[in-house]
Amino acid sequence: MTTPKSHESVQGAAGFALGGFLANVDARRAAIEVRAFDTSEDANRAIDQGELPNGSVFVVDSEGIVGMVVIICPAALTEERGSFPHLPRPGRDYMDGDYMDSVVVAEREARARGFLLRDEDAQDRIRSMRRLRNESAARIGTRLDAARIVRAHEVREGDLILADYPETEAGASRDAEFFDTAYTARPSAPCGECRECHTDQFSIADVPDGRVRYVVLDFDPTDGCDIWLRNAPVLIVPADVTGPGNADWTTALSRLMVAVAYLNEHAPPTAEGQAAAALRIRTDLRRIDRQYGTARP
């Protein structure tokens, strides 16, 4: 049998020790409790009652807050903090690093949701948002290649509506205006009775062919009909891609839109990237114009 050389034995021992150390770190972090709450008041109440142990992590999705319990007190690690205090120094350095594992778990939860961390600088935030954008796009199952432009009258039940394309001056390209929240289509004809149907813009009840010229992509008992010109271009993701009740897909899309909105403001695409996106839009618009004609009602 060949006797291993001394440096090979040392390297092997070091590698084995490192593997064991990383396994221990992963095990410690996996054991940290993460609890989600509807409101910060609910989280505070649970902490006051001792339901969350020292070092556990709490998440309040509705308020964009992620924090941890320090002994018996809550501390927010996100920029948003609600009624919780921030730590007096960076989380990873707090108490000489005693809460490092909890901070890492909390940071992971925050980044997965697109929440801004207080200790991150501008470049760290951009990197986090890019990672969230890419991971969310991968979870969706496409890099939004499934999104396509259709006419409003082509939208089907369950399609996810992402953006519209407002009219521009003749010859100018249209840019997508993404909605703050994507919504699921429930197409129908205008009801002719709600407030929206009687606005000066539509006056559907007074137009003989109003129910033909327009389509409704959603209806809200308070706001009324979501009215579109039937030939208006709409950016959608088809229902057969999203799948009915696919909560994971919807969550991924929501987080993708958070990341894209942040990056558009703080790290906008290059001129080349914008030109490529505009070309894709123009190509899609030409396609539907050829298929359905360019006439506007």
Mean predicted lDDT score pLDDT of the chain: 82
pTM: 0.62
pLDDT value of residue 179:
81
Residue with tokens 């039940």: 157
Comparison of pLDDT for 19 and 147, the residue scoring more: 147
Rounded Cα distance between 24 and 29, Å, is: 9
**pLDDT tens digits, one per residue of 84-127:** 999 999 999 999 999 999 999 999 999 999 999 999 999 999 99
Residue 296 banded pLDDT, cuts 50, 70, 90: very low
Residue 294 has pLDDT above 70, yes or no: no
Residue 62 banded pLDDT, cuts 50, 70, 90: very high
DSSP-derived 3-state class of residue 139: helix
| Radius of gyration for the alpha carbons in the chain, expressed in angstroms and rounded | 26
Residue 18 has pLDDT above 80, yes or no: no
Alpha-carbon distances, residue 135 vs 112, 123, 131, 146, 170 (angstroms): 9, 18, 6, 16, 39
Comparison of pLDDT for 265 and 103, the residue scoring more: 103
pLDDT value of residue 143:
47
Residue 36 has pLDDT above 90, yes or no: yes
Helical segments of 31-121, H only: 40-48, 100-113
**pLDDT tens digits, one per residue of 129-183:** 999 988 887 777 654 567 788 999 999 998 888 888 887 776 566 777 878 777 8
Burial class (CB in 10 A: 0-12, 13-18, 19+), 278: middle
**pLDDT tens digits, one per residue of 207-252:** 555 456 788 888 888 888 898 988 888 988 888 776 555 677 778 8
pLDDT value of residue 5:
52
Residue 14 has pLDDT above 80, yes or no: no
